[in-house]
């Protein structure tokens, strides 16, 4: 069974994830909890991805964790001002925070992969700054610390096929994309938009107050995009416990070695669950 919130509105969770059951509900209603779960895990996808990225996670993590994929609003730097479309990282974080706030009143944790790590960090900072409950833990996968300068957009100047081959090389796309040109174009366009959004992020010169919750960082040992030192620099962003772990694989180690990844994520969340009981 895929454990997810029973009636989180589509604007908030899994708008594009067809495998996740989402009942209709008012946009500001509080969803019914999975009574067997002690912790909600809100999951933020990578650049070019969608809430579909987290399909099946509930089966791996068990009934104690309720997996809630976060579907982000449409993103494009070329459509600034268009209704419902965000064009900067600040806009994206503000919109996602607004949508999630009604559902963060009970024990919860964040997992963000690649771009999702940066978004989840921004949401946590904004939520806490408003005097609200912090996450029980933030788990960042495959992303440098927020204050470390961003890498250049790797898809600049690349054709759609070259961009797709880059994604395939990173483990971020499968044979279906290669064999489906229309889907390929959609994914590449989304990837480019997301990377441009990420490039608008500016860490405050004075820094931000460290998060009061534990921060756990996971990184593929052979990730070509994120040096280990840049990922370990997340330790500056928590006043609580910090851990850094490398796992076999590249940028999408969470797909390449699922057994090892979910064992580590389960261990992290298990310690969180024990503290929230």
Write out the chain's pLDDT in tens, 277 residues: 223 443 333 344 433 333 333 332 333 333 455 666 789 999 999 988 889 889 999 999 988 899 999 999 988 877 666 777 899 999 999 999 999 999 999 999 999 999 999 999 999 999 999 999 999 999 999 999 999 987 666 666 666 666 666 666 666 555 656 677 677 777 778 888 898 899 899 999 888 899 999 999 999 999 988 999 999 999 999 999 999 999 999 999 999 899 999 999 999 999 886 666 5
Backbone angles phi, psi at 130, to 5 degrees: -85, 5
pLDDT, residue 1, reads 26
The whole-angstrom separation of Cα 109 and Cα 41 is 5
Q: Which residue has the tokens 């791996």?
A: 60
pLDDT, residue 150, reads 75
The whole-angstrom separation of Cα 263 and Cα 62 is 11
pLDDT, residue 265, reads 97
Classify 62 in phi/psi space as left (phi over 0), alpha (psi -120 to 50) or beta: left
The whole-angstrom separation of Cα 91 and Cα 122 is 11
pLDDT, residue 60, reads 94
Task: Looking at the chain, list the stretches that DSSP marks H as alpha helix, in order from N- to C-terminal side.
Answer: 57-61, 89-100, 115-129, 160-170, 175-179, 181-199, 228-232, 253-256, 258-276
pLDDT, residue 168, reads 61
Q: Is 113 helix (H, G, I), strand (E, B) or coil?
A: strand
42 exposure class (CB count in 10 Å sphere: 0-12, 13-18, 19+): buried
Bridge partners of residue 245, in order along the sequence: 218
């Amino acid at each position: 069974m895929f454990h997810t919130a029973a009636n989180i509105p589509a604007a908030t969770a899994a708008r594009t994830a067809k495998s996740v059951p989402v009942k209709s509900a008012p946009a500001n209603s509080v969803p019914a909890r999975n009574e067997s779960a002690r912790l909600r895990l809100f999951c933020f996808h990578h650049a070019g991805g969608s809430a579909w990225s987290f399909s099946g996670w509930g089966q791996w993590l068990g009934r104690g964790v309720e997996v809630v994929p976060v579907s982000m609003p449409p993103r494009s730097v070329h459509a600034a001002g268009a209704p419902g479309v965000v064009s900067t990282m600040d806009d994206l974080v503000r919109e996602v925070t607004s949508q999630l706030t009604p559902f963060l009143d009970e024990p919860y944790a964040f997992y963000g992969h690649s771009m999702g790590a940066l978004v989840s960090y921004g949401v946590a900072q904004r939520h806490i700054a408003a005097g609200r409950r912090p996450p029980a833990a933030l788990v960042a996968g495959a992303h440098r610390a927020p204050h470390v300068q961003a890498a250049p957009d790797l898809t600049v100047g690349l054709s759609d096929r070259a961009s797709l081959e880059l994604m395939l090389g990173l483990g971020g796309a499968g044979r279906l994309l290669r064999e489906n040109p229309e889907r390929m174009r959609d994914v590449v366009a989304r990837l480019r938009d997301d990377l441009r959004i990420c490039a608008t992020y500016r860490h405050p010169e004075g820094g931000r107050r460290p998060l009061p919750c534990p921060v756990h960082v996971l990184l593929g040992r052979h990730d070509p995009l994120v040096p280990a030192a840049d990922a370990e620099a997340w330790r500056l962003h928590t006043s609580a416990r910090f851990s850094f772990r490398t796992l076999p694989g590249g940028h999408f180690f969470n797909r390449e070695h699922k057994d090892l990844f979910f064992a580590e994520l389960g261990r992290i969340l298990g310690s969180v669950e024990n503290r929230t009981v």
